[in-house]
């Protein structure tokens, strides 16, 4: 039998339900895997082996009674450390929340517990989800399991690395401008950003509230669909939550893509795309065509301006959301003789450089005399992005592009060049501005031996269609390559 940490979520749940293995065995196998690899990879800020053991014991006791088990019973899960868990330290990757222990859990945490998952740890991330490399974490850089000298992507790099390295078969991340899909691409796993509002954000520590969305990581498309079903749904605690019923994402997963109209985003075929990435993307297009997809190029002119609009809108919202970290209500407090000095010192000591950079950008963009010139104009560009997508979906069912212009870059390579770092999100940001779903799936290795991701985008609430297209491609191509660990 395969090592338990090598099994997919679907296989683990099935074998536990059949009595072939116990949930406690699965928990211990993954705890041991984390203990062995964590000193090198640093995928977790707070491992939670005891929580996983307790949840596993409860699953085994339930199975012993003959009661039916939930769909993800006994499946280990890595949870990005930006989602609150009652009684478990939740830092958002920041020193300012180093000692914060929430008195409540986010809605997705309750849903995942109900689905039977085992929480093996709170995963490392860029501070307050601001970054594309997980180098901005106050708790050290997460290493890419494919090459420990390279980044795993970000901001959900810890979750992506944990899934890729076999520390957990599934993970949860958040995606504000590509923070699930880009690390999924760089680590060679599947990552999906659902439609904005499809998954509750209650209990998520906010970065940019009109863009943030929680979503799944897995090593294959079926597990991704299974995990999405566990977390999707309406939540009255989240005013932006979509009330529409959630479909069964596994239904029709294998229906194929014969006759599906597929648009290749012309703007993603730029000179800045690494040759190996472009090559694997071309191969993926040939596979989609061989499966019966009707493939044609499409131009989305606003794609070129989405990055600039995003880096005004997101910092503006982060400036407002992070104003609460003032040393008064919660989080760290620096000593100072006056309240105003205490506020300033707390924020200066508690926030890292990237967070400070974005707070200053956002505060400037929202300031008197500049609001219309910057933030207001960026929102107009956002409207153009939405219109471009709407127009494209009149002709096409789905759109495709590379997920990231490059494979994983070396740690420190772009740390001193914010613009170069921001360009990593060039192809992922438009879907966030539009609030639409998108998925990244592995599509081979580039010339440097590192994973490449194929991004599939669709209109609002088209998750079932995206999963079906991704599954068809995955089935035709075969299982994705695994890192040499």
- Catalytically annotated residues: 80, 155, 179
> Cα 421–426–432 angle (5° rounding)?
110
Alpha helix locations (H) across 259-338? 275-290, 303-321
End-to-end CA distance of the chain: 18
Q: What would the two tokens of residue 476 be? A: 């035709």
Whether residue 259 contacts residue 474, with contact meaning beta carbons closer than 8 Å, is answered with no
Alpha helix locations (H) across 324-417? 339-350, 353-366, 377-395
Q: Is 108 exposed, middle or buried (0-12, 13-18, 19+ CB in 10 A)?
A: buried
What are the residues facing 215 on neighbouring strands?
173
CA distance 136 to 92: 11
CA distance 370 to 413: 33
How many other β-carbons are positioned within 10 Å of the β-carbon of residue 214? 28
25, 471, 454: which is closest to 228 by C-alpha? 471
- The DSSP bridge pattern shows strands 44-47 and 118-123 to be antiparallel
The CA-atom distances, in angstroms, between 152 and each of 143, 144, 157, 366, 464 are: 6, 4, 5, 33, 27
CA distance 375 to 364: 9
Question: Half-sphere exposure of residue 370, counting CA atoms within 13 Å on the CB side?
Answer: 10
Q: Is 379 exposed, middle or buried (0-12, 13-18, 19+ CB in 10 A)?
A: middle
The CA-atom distances, in angstroms, between 364 and each of 210, 218, 349, 359, 420 are: 19, 39, 21, 8, 22
Question: How is residue 75 annotated by DSSP?
Answer: -
CA distance 340 to 345: 9
Contacts of 423 (CB under 8 A, 6+ apart): 272, 307, 405
């Amino acid at each position: 039998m395969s090592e338990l940490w090598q099994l997919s979520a679907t296989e683990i749940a099935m074998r536990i339900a059949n009595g072939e293995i116990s949930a406690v065995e699965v928990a211990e196998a993954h705890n041991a895997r984390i203990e062995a690899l964590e000193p090198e990879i640093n995928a977790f800020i707070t491992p939670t082996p005891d929580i996983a053991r307790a949840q596993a014991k409860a699953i085994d006791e339930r199975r012993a009674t003959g009661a039916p088990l939930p769909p993800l019973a006994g499946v280990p899960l890595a949870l990005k450390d930006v989602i609150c868990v009652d009684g478990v330290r939740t830092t958002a990757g920041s020193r300012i929340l180093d000692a914060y222990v929430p008195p409540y859990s986010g809605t997705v945490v309750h849903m995942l517990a109900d689905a039977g998952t085992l929480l093996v740890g709170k995963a490392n991330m860029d501070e307050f989800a601001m970054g594309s490399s997980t180098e901005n974490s106050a708790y050290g850089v997460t290493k890419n399991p494919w090459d420990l000298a390279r980044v795993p992507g970000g901001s959900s790099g810890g979750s992506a690395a944990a899934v890729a390295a076999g520390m957990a078969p599934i993970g949860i991340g958040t995606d504000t401008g590509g923070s699930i899909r880009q690390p999924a691409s760089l680590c060679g796993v599947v990552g999906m950003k659902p439609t904005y509002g499809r998954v509750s954000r209650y209990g998520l520590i906010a970065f940019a509230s009109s863009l943030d969305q929680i979503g799944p990581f897995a090593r294959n498309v079926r597990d991704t669909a299974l995990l999405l079903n566990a977390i999707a749904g309406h939540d009255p605690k989240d005013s932006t939550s979509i009330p529409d019923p959630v479909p069964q994402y596994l239904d029709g997963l294998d229906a194929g893509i014969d006759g599906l109209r597929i648009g290749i985003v012309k703007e993603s075929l730029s000179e800045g795309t690494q040759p190996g990435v472009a090559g694997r993307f071309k191969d993926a297009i040939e596979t989609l065509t061989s499966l019966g997809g009707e493939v044609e190029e499409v131009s989305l002119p606003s794609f070129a301006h989405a990055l600039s609009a995003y880096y005004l809108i997101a910092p503006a919202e982060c400036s407002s959301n992070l104003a609460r970290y003032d040393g008064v209500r919660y989080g760290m407090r620096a000593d100072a003789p006056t309240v105003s000095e205490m506020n300033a010192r707390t924020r200066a000591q508690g926030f890292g450089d990237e967070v400070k950079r974005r707070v200053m950008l956002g505060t400037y963009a929202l300031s008197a005399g500049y609001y219309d010139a910057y933030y207001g104009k960026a929102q107009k560009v956002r409207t153009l992005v939405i219109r471009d997508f709407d127009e494209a979906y009149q002709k096409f069912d789905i759109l495709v592009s590379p997920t990231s212009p490059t494979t994983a870059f070396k740690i420190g390579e772009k740390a001193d060049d914010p613009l170069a770092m921001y360009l990593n999100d060039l192809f992922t940001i438009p879907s966030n501005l539009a609030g639409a779903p998108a998925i990244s799936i592995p599509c081979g290795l580039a010339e440097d031996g590192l994973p490449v991701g194929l991004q599939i985008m669709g209109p609002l609430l088209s998750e079932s269609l995206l999963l079906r297209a991704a599954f068809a491609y995955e089935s035709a191509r075969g299982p994705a390559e695994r890192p040499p660990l």
